[in-house]
Amino acid sequence: MGGRKVAIVTGAGRGIGRGITTTLAERGYDLVITSRTERDLDGTRAAVEEAGGSAMVVVADLRDPGTASRLVRSALTRFGRLDGLVNNAALNIFTPFWEQTDADLDRIIDTNLTAPFFLCQAAANHWVENGLPGAIVNISSAEDTIAYPEQVPYASSKGGLLSMTKVLALEWGPLGIRVNAVSPGSVDTDMTPEIYRREASSLMPIGRLGEPEEIGTCVHFLLSDEASFVTGTSLYADGGYMLQ
């Protein structure tokens, strides 16, 4: 299929999500961008348009069960096609394990694991019903493998996301739907704890934090036909953090 491709990116208003969105727009994608905050999405839409793409803004809460099908429908209604899905939205709350509340646990698991699951399902249903190939990239984290203190729900959700990525890849491999993950290390966003920024040169083998666009290039690669034999894997983009 020629023309511009179309992808859904969740959590597209800020940080890594905006970096992914902008990178994809520069490389020929139109985008359905979603977040709970309209003002953030306006900034991302402007960045997409500057990069020569079109963006459809969908203000939505990923914890709402209707959001997944709404996003897929939005792509088809506005652009007439859907090529890729990027599950990027995530929530982390730093709290000692014994002080974690039920409410926070639910919010984190719902956002980081349950929402990606049902979005994968909605996108794959569209592809399977129409006999189309598709590609999904789930944004995991170095924490799908290594541990940090005070973020048990977040780490659990990312471990779950990685396992889910593998199962979906296995199930959907025969259907021409590839499912992969990108697992970022510390990336410079407005959510980056100040201490990471201050100590990046000693914390990171590469000597610096990552930029959101450096996650974008990895997502672009995995969505593209360049990665035609790559499925069920995670690309660790961590500046070598996990080597220590």
Partner 1 sequence: MSADLAGKNAIVTGAASGIGRATALRLAADGANTFCVDRDETGLARVVSTLGQGHTGFTADLRLASSGREVVAAARRHWNDRIHILVNAAAILIREPTLQHSRAAWNLTLDINLKAPFRLSQEVVATMIEEGVRGSIVNVGSVEAVLPGRGHVAYTASKGAITMLTRSAAFEVAPYGIRVNAVAPGVVATGMNSDIREDPVRWSEMLAGTPMGRHAEPEEIAAVIAFLASDEPSFVTGATVTSDGGWTLH
By CB under 8 A, tell whether 173 contacts partner 1.
yes
Q: Toward partner 1, which CB reaches closer, 72 or 215? A: 215
- x/- track of binding to partner 1 for residues 218-237 (CB under 8 A): x-xx--x-xxxxxxxx-xxx
Q: Toward partner 1, which CB reaches closer, 58 or 209? A: 209
State in angstroms the smallest separation of the CB of 78 from partner 1.
Answer: 24
Q: Choose among 91, 12, 111: nearest CA to 53.
A: 12
By CB under 8 A, tell whether 131 contacts partner 1.
no
Q: Choose among 173, 57, 158: nearest CA to 108.
A: 158
By CB under 8 A, tell whether 7 contacts partner 1.
no
Size, binding site for partner 1 by CB under 8 A = 42
Catalytic-residue membership of 196:
no
Q: Toward partner 1, which CB reaches closer, 67 or 88? A: 88
Task: Using CB under 8 A, pick the residue from 13, 15, 27, 51 that binds partner 1.
Answer: 27
By CB under 8 A, tell whether 239 contacts partner 1.
yes
- Site residues, partner 1 (CB under 8 A): 27-28, 166-167, 169-171, 173-174, 184-185, 187, 204-207, 210-211, 214-215, 217-218, 220-221, 224, 226-233, 235-240, 242-244
Active site residues: 154
